[in-house]
Structure 1
Amino acid sequence: MDAEKQRVAVYRCLIYAAIGYSVIPLLSICVNIPMVYNYIHYVKNMTDNDIKYCK
């Protein structure tokens, strides 16, 4: 039974590590997508302003 408890503990540790490694990219995506959207919006506005200035 001791080996089985140790095996369960190792599997539990691996599961927590896998969940942690999958949550970190999700959080990164949740932060980066709005940043990219804001940058694209900024570039579009600057381009529109430059085009209006040239006309």
Structure 2
Amino acid sequence: MPRMNAIAERWGASCRREANDRIPITGERYLRLVVTEYAGYHNEHRPHRSLGQRCPTL
């Protein structure tokens, strides 16, 4: 699906910009931890435009 590629690239770019560029990654295990934490934040805690700038968990 062409649209899914754009969504995946945007998520990867935002993860790199917001998490990985600010934290020095020292190994694969630490990278997995940082990406897992960012995914939780991205999906549950940050405001979403489609929800009127509210978090999904509220």
Alignment TM class, shorter chain as reference: 0.3 to 0.5
* Larger Rg belongs to: 1
**TM-score (normalizing by structure 2):** 0.35
**TM-score (normalizing by structure 1):** 0.36
